[in-house]
Amino acid sequence: MYSNKAVQQWVEEMMELTKPDNVIWIDGSEEEKDRLTKEALSIGEIEELNQDKLPGCYLHRTNPNDVARVEHLTYICTDKEEDAGPTNNWMNSDEAYAKLSELFDGSMKGRTMYVIPFSMGTVGSEFSKIGIEVTDSIYVVLNMRIMTRIGKRVMDALGDSADFTKGLHARADVNPDRRFICHFPQDNTIWSIGSGYGGNVLLGKKCFALRIASNMGKNEGWLAEHMLILGIESPQGEVSYVAAAFPSACGKTNLAMMLPPNEYKDYKVWCVGDDIAWMRIGEDGRLWAVNPEAGFFGVAPGTSRKSNPNALATVQSNTIFTNVVRTPEGTVWWEGMGVDPPAAGIDWRGNEWTPESGEKGAHPNSRFTAPASQCPCISQEWENPKGVPISAILFGGRRAKVAPLVYQSFDWENGVFIGSIMASETTAANIGQVGVVRRDPMAMLPFCGYNMSDYFAHWLEMGKKIPNPPKIFNVNWFRLTDEGKFAWPGYGDNFRVIKWIVDRCNDEVDARQTEIGYVPNSTDINIDGINSEKGYEDFNIESLEDLLSIDMNVWAKEISDIGEHYKMFEKLPSELSIQYEGLKKRFGM
C-alpha cells in the first residue's frame, strides 16, 4: 500500500463500493509483470504466443459483444447540460453517480482489485499528469504498463498531493446493456463499467488524455488534442515537428511512422507519438507538444510491410495482440498484413478458421499494444519532458472530391475554422459514388470533454496567446479520380506533401492564393518517382494539378453543408461565423 492519504482514502471508498476479495497495489516492477503475466495465463485472460518468434508477446480475445469504443454509451457528466454541449451525451453528475453506483456495487466480489498509479507524460515532468486507475482486469494492468508509465515511481512523484485523476473500472458482466463510460470533469473522475475493450478501459488514453485533459487544458491554458506528432530531419540535420489530427481510421499511426520515398532518402522521419498530443506555449513563444502516452494501441488490420514497416517491426516483441488470428505455429495474422494467411488458424472469436470460410479472421478493430520505445523510428526527443516545438498543425479526413491534396490556412483563425469543419466520408465501392459525411471537428468529436463551442473559443484564445504559432494546413490523402480510384498513392509518398508544408513554414516556397487558402504551385511538389508505383504509372503533373484543383460546384454544396453543421453550435464564436461568411463571399455566394 502507498502512504499517500488521499489515494488510500479514495481506494478504500472504491473497495467499499465494489467489494473485491483482494487488493494489489501495482509497483511497476519486472517481478510484478512476470507474476501477473503468469496469473493472466493461468486464468485464460491471455494466451502465450510463440516465444521464439514473438518474445514477450501474448494474445487476448475480448467478448464478441465488446470490440470497440462505444460512443453511444460514453457520457460527460456535469451539473449543467450546457457544459457537455451538443456533441456529447450528457448525464447529470449526481444521477450518473447514483446509477453507476448500483452497477458497481459488489462488482468485484470474488475478484482482485488492482490499483495502478500512472503518469501521462514522463514521470515528474511539470507537463505530466498523474492518475490512479483501479480495475479488476489484469489485461488492463498489463496494457497500462505498456501505454503509460506506472507504479512506485509515479507515487514518488505524486508525494502527498491529492492532485490525481481518479479512474474506476470494473468489467462486471460485460453486458452492453450495463456498459457506461462516464467522465466527471468537475471531479477529475472517470467511471467505466461493463467493458474490457481498450479504448473503454485503458483510462489513461481517450478518457483521461483527451476527455478529462481537454477540460484541464481549457482551464489551464493548453491544448489536449487527438494528434500524432512527427519530426522531419533534413540532410543538414535540422528537425521540424508537425502535429496532425485525423479521425479514427485515416492512417494516423502509418503517417506517424512513415518512411520517405527513395527520392528523399537523405531525409528521416521520426515518430514522437501516434495518437495524442498535449501542447503548451513554450518560453520561446512557440507551441510545444508532448506525447503523453508510452505505447501504441494501433489497429492491426491493414498494417503491412508496405503500409507501415516500422509498426510491424515494433510489434515483434513485448506486445499484446487483441482479437487477431492465431496461426498454428503460435504467431499472429490479420487481414491486410501483406502475407499469405495460414491454411487454418484460430479466429478472433476463438474458433477454428480457414481463409476459405469467407469470415474475417481478425476483427477489423483488432489491435496491438506495443512499447513506443521499440519503434525503429522513435524520436530521440519522444520523452523530452519539455516536448518538441511544433511548426505545423495538419487537419485532414477522407474527402473524395472536396478538399485538395493540401492547402494552408490564411492564418490561425482561418485554421481554427478549417479544423472546425473537418469531415470524413465513407466511400462507396461504386465508381465515383460518395458516401456519408461525418463532421468531426479537429478529430475530437468523440473526445472533446466539454462544450465544443467553448472548445473552438479556447483554440481561438490560444491563437491570441501564442507569439509564434504553428501554421495550420489541411491535407486529403483520399481524393478519388472520376473512375473511383485513389488519386494519390499515399503512405510514404505523403512525405512529398509534408515536405512542402515544412518548406512553407520555413518561408522557402511560394503558393497560390485561392478561395479556401494557399494551395501549392504544382511544380513545387516533387512527383519524381511516383509513376514507378504500382497503379500510378501514368501519374504526371496534370494528375497533381487535378489533385490541387477546387471544384466550384462541389464547394457550393460543401458550403451549404457547413452551414447545417454550424447550426448545431448555439454558442459558435463570432470569429467562426465571420470566417464562414468570408468563405461564402470568396465563392461569390
Q: Which residues are catalytic?
A: 250
Q: Dihedral sign, CA of 415, 420, 421, 423? A: positive
CB of 570 to ligand OXD, least distance (A): 27
Nearer to ligand OXD, 199 or 345 (CB): 199
318 burial class (0-12, 13-18, 19+ CB within 10 angstroms)?
buried
Which string of x and - marks every residue 31-70 that binds ligand OXD (by CB under 6 A)? Answer: --------------------------------------x-
Nearer to ligand OXD, 143 or 248 (CB): 248
Nearer to Mn ion, 244 or 501 (CB): 244
> Residue 575 binds which entry of Mn ion, ligand OXD, none, with Cβ cut-offs from 5 to 8 Å by kind?
none
Which string of x and - marks every residue 266-305 that binds ligand OXD (by CB under 6 A)? Answer: ---------x------------------------------
The two counts, helices (H) then strands (E), for the chain are 15, 31
CB atoms within 10 A of CB 354: 14
Beta bridge pairs of residue 190: 167, 183
Does residue number 323 form part of the binding site for ligand OXD (CB under 6 A)?
no
Q: Of 93, 443, 71, 27, nearest to 243 (Cα)?
A: 443
- DSSP assignment letter at 341: P
> Residue 137 binds which entry of Mn ion, ligand OXD, none, with Cβ cut-offs from 5 to 8 Å by kind?
none
Which listed residue (131, 199, 492, 520) binds ligand OXD by CB under 6 A?
A: 199
CB of 1 to ligand OXD, least distance (A): 33
Q: Of 283, 362, 277, nearest to 327 (Cα)?
A: 362
Q: Which residue is nearest to ligand OXD (CB)?
A: 248
Binding residues for ligand OXD restricted to 63-122, rule: CB under 6 A: 69
Whether 402 contacts 554, CB under 8 Å: yes
How many residues sit in the footprint of Mn ion (CB under 5 A)? 1
Whether 239 contacts 233, CB under 8 Å: yes
CB of 202 to ligand OXD, least distance (A): 10
User: What is the distance between the alpha carbons of residues 383 and 273, in angstroms, rounded to a whole number?
Assistant: 10
CB of 291 to Mn ion, least distance (A): 12
Nearer to Mn ion, 73 or 154 (CB): 73
Nearer to Mn ion, 226 or 286 (CB): 226
Task: Encode 352-397 in three state secondary structure.
Answer: EECHHHCCCCCCCCCEEEEEHHHCCCECCCCCCCCCEEEEEEEEEC
Helices (H), 148-297: 152-158, 198-201, 213-220, 252-256
Binding residues for Mn ion restricted to 227-286, rule: CB under 5 A: 275
Nearer to ligand OXD, 199 or 449 (CB): 199
Strand order in the sheet with 352-353: 332-333, 325-326, 345-346, 352-353
CB of 275 to ligand OXD, least distance (A): 5
Whether 500 contacts 406, CB under 8 Å: yes
Helices (H), 506-572: 541-547, 552-567
Nearer to ligand OXD, 93 or 248 (CB): 248
Does residue number 381 form part of the binding site for Mn ion (CB under 5 A)?
no
Q: Which residue is nearest to Mn ion (CB)?
A: 275
Binding residues for ligand OXD restricted to 140-179, rule: CB under 6 A: none
> Residue 414 binds which entry of ligand OXD, Mn ion, none, with Cβ cut-offs from 5 to 8 Å by kind?
none
Which string of x and - marks every residue 285-314 that binds Mn ion (by CB under 5 A)? Answer: ------------------------------
CB of 301 to ligand OXD, least distance (A): 13
Q: Of 136, 109, 131, 104, nearest to 120 (Cα)?
A: 131
> Residue 199 binds which entry of ligand OXD, Mn ion, none, with Cβ cut-offs from 5 to 8 Å by kind?
ligand OXD
User: What is the distance between the alpha carbons of residues 111 and 104, in angstroms, rounded to a whole number?
Assistant: 13
CB of 274 to Mn ion, least distance (A): 8
52: cell is 521464439
CB of 197 to ligand OXD, least distance (A): 10
Nearer to Mn ion, 275 or 493 (CB): 275
The phi, psi pair for 333, rounded to 5°, reads -150, 150
User: What is the distance between the alpha carbons of residues 586 and 589, in angstroms, rounded to a whole number?
Assistant: 7
Does residue number 248 form part of the binding site for ligand OXD (CB under 6 A)?
yes
Summarize as ranges the residues that interact with ligand OXD (CB under 6 A). 69, 199, 248, 275
Summarize as ranges the residues that interact with Mn ion (CB under 5 A). 275
